[in-house]
A and B are shown apart, each in its own frame.
With several copies, the nearest count.
Chain A
Amino acid sequence: MDVERDTLHQLYYYLKLTRHLEERITSLYRQGKIVGGAWTSNGTEAISVGYSYALEKDDVTAPYFRDMGVFLVRGITPRRIVAQYLGRKTGVTGGKEGNVHIGDINFGCFGFPSHLADNYPVAAGAALAFKIRGEKRVAASSTGDGGTSRGDFHEALNFASVLKLPVVFFCNNNQYAYSTPLEKQMAIKDVAERSLAYAMPSEIVDGNDVVAVYKVSKEAYKKARAGEGPTFIECKTMRMHGHSEHDAAKYVPRELLEEWKKKDPILKMENYLLENNHASENELKDIDKRVHDVIEDAEEFAENSPYPDGKEAVEGLYATPIEKVKTL
């Protein structure tokens, strides 16, 4: 599959945007401006960017919390995202939710429920709807290596496979679930082996190679759209920070981090673009500049945004409010 120059530039843009936006969030966290927790997808951005960029506009995603790239690629603006982190009214959820617990149906992004793997059956259900209605749309969902140990993972993959649903499941295998290394999480070598239990085709891809992730996703979506059923895609990568900002991750061997540092997805993409003449130094600089400006703007916007009113807490429980009875 040949990937167009423009697409490559966009992939690079979103990689950078994801990295720098999350870095900015981390620094806001350190300044005590983010009242709740903060996680980043640092070092694993190629996964969320690659798989979401390969989707069509009409498709839907049911992401997890290391999927910042998905929200950005789908079109949720950095302004709304930073405002979300700061608990402002202009944030994606108007202050109702924090950090990456985002969802916006207008961009085909389902909300992320903290409970890992909960979004897997939800994605399968969206795919079921597409199948029932005969629409050529697909659903994509992801979770961590740890998330694949949950029952909902099993029930979703089984369901999707029996019904040959147009859904693609991704696993961000960053080798740790909080402090728990892969070998305490599963007895298999590759997470992809999990898919054997469902006779579901699987792929293993270098999760630090955004172009590879993009390509393998695109192929899987194509099959799904053609009625050939679901695919499970394991993206191998490494979590380069602690589980969250307050975790120093002492349990991770330093050498492992050293080794993976060299495989940084942004570095890799930069080299790929330059070496193959897919981009010039200047073009990359321009992109960096754009990223920088967008983030500056987002932070300013968010910091100047108002907090919601306290009593908005009791609004919007029901989509169909019951006139007769005020519950609150």
Chain B
Amino acid sequence: MKEITYVEAIHQALWEEMERDDSVFILGEDVGIYGGAFRVTEGMYEKFGELRVLDTPLSESGFTGAAIGASLVGMRPVVEMQFADFISCAFDQIVNVAAKNYYRWGGKTPIVIRAPYGGNIHGGAFHSQCPEGWFFHTPGLKLVAPAFPSDAKGLLKAAIRDDDPVIFFEHKFLYRRIKEEVPEDDYVIPIGEARIVQEGSDISVITYGAMVHTALEASKNLEESGISLEIVDLRTLMPLDKETVFDSVKKTNKVIVLYEATRSGGVGAEVAALISEEVFNYLDGPILRISAPDTPVPYSPPMEEYYLPQVEDVVEAAEKLAAY
């Protein structure tokens, strides 16, 4: 197995799916000749031609709607948002058309929307957002948010083969910062399954995306103090793998929910709510949440650092909770 980056894993998954299935095609701004703002589709235009790697006019709602229409007649479009922030311009098509087609009238809508999201790149309010919470509160969508190259590859393949609209949240900060050995052959990571990325006994950290790595680092820092974290990487946000989360809580009896999105509402709130509702009896302490505060993402480095959950925040919370 070769070590590849997160972004290479995404590239590979796309490439292989395009080769495997003629009905897969890519559309979005600058995905063609240019190979995508983050070079995810590099070389594909040359390989698969301009109709299957389609440069669109600057119109998120238009090309997302078009992807929906194409999917209704049997295609499997993969839409690239240049930054996840711009998904707001396609919001209506996603939440009212794609998400509701199947429930309302049985219209199968197998589209994938790739959304490069997240902060820590000094991108400011419009190039750093974590918009998954909006879609998490929209029945009919599936949401995945891998933290590792191998998951990214397997989940993107699963997303493309799935018959429902899937938003694939790929974390920009991870693109070139993490590497991992990834199987070179065809494999799929099923949508809807969380993964224990680290077994532990004292506290369950429920998290996803870039924060998985923050949790892993915190865990190392906690070795000295003898606090053992069990880290649950949700991988799929919707539908949520309650079973794996609950099993972990039953084992550790203490929970930290760690997420990069803004605090109120969204995925992190739901995880806490689910636990306090369904496995309350197993809890030996409050469910702590570590997240971004309820503000836009600030630009200046000291502010962004303050804004984003840091390793020390996790360490501190874990110490507090362990002592509980």
Q: Which residues from chain A sit less than 8 Å from chain B, CB to CB?
A: 35-37, 60, 62, 87-89, 91-93, 95-99, 101-105, 110-111, 113-116, 118, 120-133, 139, 146-147, 149-152, 154-156, 158-159, 162-163, 177-180, 184-186, 251, 307-314, 316-320, 322-325, 327-328
Q: Let me know if B122 and A147 touch, CB within 8 A.
A: no
Q: Let me know if A327 and B240 touch, CB within 8 A.
A: yes
Report the minimum CB–CB distance from A67 to chain B (whole Å).
Answer: 14
Q: Which residues, 75 to 105 on B, are CB-close (under 8 Å) to A?
A: 75, 77, 82, 85-86, 88-89, 92-93, 96-97, 100-105
Q: Let me know if B239 is at the binding interface, CB within 8 A.
A: yes
User: Which of A115, A120, A125, A131 is in CB contact (< 8 Å) with B89?
Assistant: A115
Report the minimum CB–CB distance from A247 to chain B (whole Å).
Answer: 8
B52, B62, B162 pick with most chain A CB within 10 angstroms: B62
CA distance A313 to B164 in the complex (A): 18
Q: Let me know if A310 and B302 touch, CB within 8 A.
A: yes
B51, B121, B241, B300 pick with most chain A CB within 10 angstroms: B300
User: Which of A103, A130, A178, A309 is in CB contact (< 8 Å) with B29?
Assistant: A178
A35, A37, A155, A156 pick with most chain B CB within 10 angstroms: A155
CA distance A178 to B93 in the complex (A): 23
CA distance A327 to B274 in the complex (A): 12
What B residues does A149 contact at CB under 8 A?
57-59, 62
CA distance A317 to B242 in the complex (A): 18
Report the minimum CB–CB distance from A119 to chain B (whole Å).
Answer: 8
Beyond the given A103-B104, A115-B97, A314-B293, please list 19 additional residue pairs across the A-B interface where CB-CB is below 8 A: A36-B299, A96-B103, A96-B298, A103-B101, A103-B107, A121-B93, A122-B68, A133-B22, A149-B57, A150-B60, A150-B89, A151-B59, A152-B92, A155-B62, A159-B66, A177-B58, A325-B239, A325-B243, A327-B238
Q: Let me know if B75 and A132 touch, CB within 8 A.
A: yes
Q: Let me know if A129 and B307 touch, CB within 8 A.
A: no
A149 and chain B: residue at smallest CB distance = B57
Q: Let me know if B124 is at the binding interface, CB within 8 A.
A: yes
On whether A324 and B59 interact (CB within 8 A), knowing A111-B105, A114-B85, A125-B70, the answer reads no
On whether A180 and B301 interact (CB within 8 A), knowing A151-B61, A155-B61, A324-B190, the answer reads no
User: Which of A97, A180, A325 is in CB contact (< 8 Å) with B30?
Assistant: A180
B57 and chain A: residue at smallest CB distance = A149
What A residues does B127 contact at CB under 8 A?
36-37, 114
CA distance A308 to B303 in the complex (A): 7
CA distance A158 to B63 in the complex (A): 10
| Contact mask for chain B residues 144-179; partner A; CB cutoff 8 A; 1 contact, 0 none | 000000000000000000111000000000000000
CA distance A307 to B54 in the complex (A): 43
User: Which of B33, B62, B125 is in CB contact (< 8 Å) with A251?
Assistant: B33
What B residues does A324 contact at CB under 8 A?
190, 192-193, 241, 243
What A residues does B85 contact at CB under 8 A?
114-115
Q: List 17 A-B contacts (CB under 8 A).
A: A35-B122, A36-B127, A62-B69, A96-B299, A103-B104, A104-B105, A118-B97, A125-B66, A126-B69, A126-B73, A149-B59, A150-B60, A159-B62, A313-B304, A322-B190, A324-B190, A328-B294
On whether A60 and B73 interact (CB within 8 A), knowing A104-B106, A317-B294, the answer reads yes
CA distance A218 to B191 in the complex (A): 45
Q: Let me know if B105 and A102 touch, CB within 8 A.
A: yes
On whether A96 and B69 interact (CB within 8 A), knowing A146-B58, A152-B62, the answer reads no
What A residues does B307 contact at CB under 8 A?
310, 313-314
Q: Let me know if A317 and B86 touch, CB within 8 A.
A: no
Q: Let me know if B295 is at the binding interface, CB within 8 A.
A: yes
On whether A180 and B104 interact (CB within 8 A), knowing A121-B64, A124-B69, the answer reads no
What A residues does B300 contact at CB under 8 A?
87-89, 91, 95-96, 98, 307-308
CA distance A102 to B70 in the complex (A): 19
Report the minimum CB–CB distance from B94 to chain A (whole Å).
Answer: 11
Q: Let me know if B142 and A180 touch, CB within 8 A.
A: no
Q: Let me know if B123 is at the binding interface, CB within 8 A.
A: yes
Q: Let me know if A129 and B123 touch, CB within 8 A.
A: no
What B residues does A186 contact at CB under 8 A?
57
Report the minimum CB–CB distance from A136 to chain B (whole Å).
Answer: 14
User: Which of B75, B97, B104, B192 is in CB contact (< 8 Å) with A122?
Assistant: B97
CA distance A310 to B123 in the complex (A): 16
Report the minimum CB–CB distance from A121 to chain B (whole Å).
Answer: 3
Report the minimum CB–CB distance from A322 to chain B (whole Å).
Answer: 4
Q: Let me know if A327 and B58 touch, CB within 8 A.
A: no
Q: Let me know if B183 is at the binding interface, CB within 8 A.
A: no
B67 and chain A: residue at smallest CB distance = A125
User: Which of B65, B82, B97, B241 is in CB contact (< 8 Å) with A124?
Assistant: B65
Q: Which residues, 130 to 146 on B, are CB-close (under 8 Å) to A?
A: 139-140, 142
What A residues does B273 contact at CB under 8 A?
none
User: Which of B55, B65, B74 is in CB contact (< 8 Å) with A152?
Assistant: B65
Q: Let me know if B284 is at the binding interface, CB within 8 A.
A: no
Q: Let me know if A126 and B105 touch, CB within 8 A.
A: no
What B residues does A103 contact at CB under 8 A?
101, 104-107
A95 and chain B: residue at smallest CB distance = B300
Q: Let me know if B187 is at the binding interface, CB within 8 A.
A: no
What B residues does A312 contact at CB under 8 A?
298, 303
Q: Let me know if A93 and B68 touch, CB within 8 A.
A: no
What A residues does B72 contact at CB under 8 A?
60, 105, 110, 122, 125-126
Report the minimum CB–CB distance from A175 to chain B (whole Å).
Answer: 14
Q: Let me know if B37 is at the binding interface, CB within 8 A.
A: yes
